[in-house]
């Protein structure tokens, strides 16, 4: 397990890799308790796995930092996978080839920020392309929702 966060594990993000893949990890990028990445040597091209936890709407976003990590990763042939919680809602309407029709509810401001980020970086919101039960479309509900 590759972990980035507090010493008492009160907060943070982690990437867990199978023991057969550990030898393929050529670089660990720790930025904060909300961003960690591993670069894996793979064939035919490398893989960058990034784990992200975006702050709630009251806090500053880390999109610029993530884009710096992506820019560095793109200096070679690299597939990019960004996982975890963006704290956003992209909605249930398709948007170009970036978001599919199986999101939840209506797009919010943070969802639009995620779509814009994906558009700038040639990424897609993959979980919106697959139909899932509604209870699997969100991680948390605010009290009273």
- Rounded to whole angstroms, the Cα distance separating 10 from 50 reads 20
Condensed to tens digits (0 to 9), the pLDDT of residues 103-136 reads 888 888 888 999 999 999 999 999 899 998 877 7
- Same domain? For 83 and 95 the reply is no
The answer on 3 and 73 residing in a single domain is yes
Domain count across the chain: 2
The answer to whether the CB of 50 falls within 8 A of the CB of 69 is yes
Are 29 and 64 part of one and the same domain?
yes
83 and 103 share one domain:
no
Query: Over 80: is that where the pLDDT of 55 sits?
Result: no
pLDDT band at 59 (very low <50, low <70, confident <90, very high): low
Could you tell me if 4 and 67 lie in one domain?
yes
> pLDDT per residue over 8-37, tens digit each?
767 889 999 999 999 999 999 998 888 999
Quick one: 69 and 96 in the same domain? no
- Give CA separation, 45 vs 33, 81, 118, in Å: 28, 13, 21
In this structure, the answer to whether residues 7 and 41 fall within a common structural domain is yes
Task: List the domain range (segments joined by +) for residue 112.
Answer: 91-145
The stretch 40-62 carries a mean pLDDT of: 84
Q: Model's pTM, two decimal places?
A: 0.81
Judge if 31 and 95 occupy the same domain.
no
Look at residue 61 in the predicted model and tell me its pLDDT.
Answer: 73
102 pLDDT exceeds 80? yes
DSSP codes joined into one string, 42-85: -SSSEEEEEEEEPPPTTSPP-HHHHHHHHHHHTTS-EEEEEEEE
pLDDT over threshold 90, residue 5:
no
- Residue 57: predicted pLDDT: 63
Name the strands in the sheet holding 25-32, side by side, starting at the edge strand that comes first in the sequence. 25-32, 35-40, 46-53, 78-85
Domain boundary among 87, 110, 127: 87
Spatial contact of 99 and 125, defined as CB atoms under 8 Å apart: yes
**Separation CA 145–CA 141 (nearest Å):** 6
Surface-to-core class of residue 6, CB atoms within 10 Å of its CB (0-12 exposed, 13-18 middle, 19+ buried): exposed
Residue 112 and residue 132 in one domain? yes
Q: Is residue 47 domain-shared with residue 79, that is, in the same domain?
A: yes
């Amino acid at each position: 397990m590759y972990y980035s966060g507090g010493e008492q594990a009160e907060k943070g993000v982690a990437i867990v890799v199978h023991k057969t893949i550990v030898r393929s990890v050529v670089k660990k990028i720790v930025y904060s308790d909300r961003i960690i990445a591993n670069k894996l040597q793979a064939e035919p091209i490398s893989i960058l796995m990034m784990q992200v936890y975006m702050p709630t709407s009251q806090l500053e976003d880390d999109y610029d930092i993530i884009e710096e990590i992506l820019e560095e990763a793109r200096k070679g042939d690299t597939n990019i996978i960004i996982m975890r919680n963006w704290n956003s809602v992209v909605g249930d309407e398709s948007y170009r080839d970036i978001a599919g029709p199986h999101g939840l509810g209506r797009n919010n401001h943070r969802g639009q920020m995620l779509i814009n980020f994906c558009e700038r970086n040639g990424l897609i919101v993959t979980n919106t392309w697959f139909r899932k039960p509604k209870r699997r479309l969100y991680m948390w509900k605010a009290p009273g929702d």
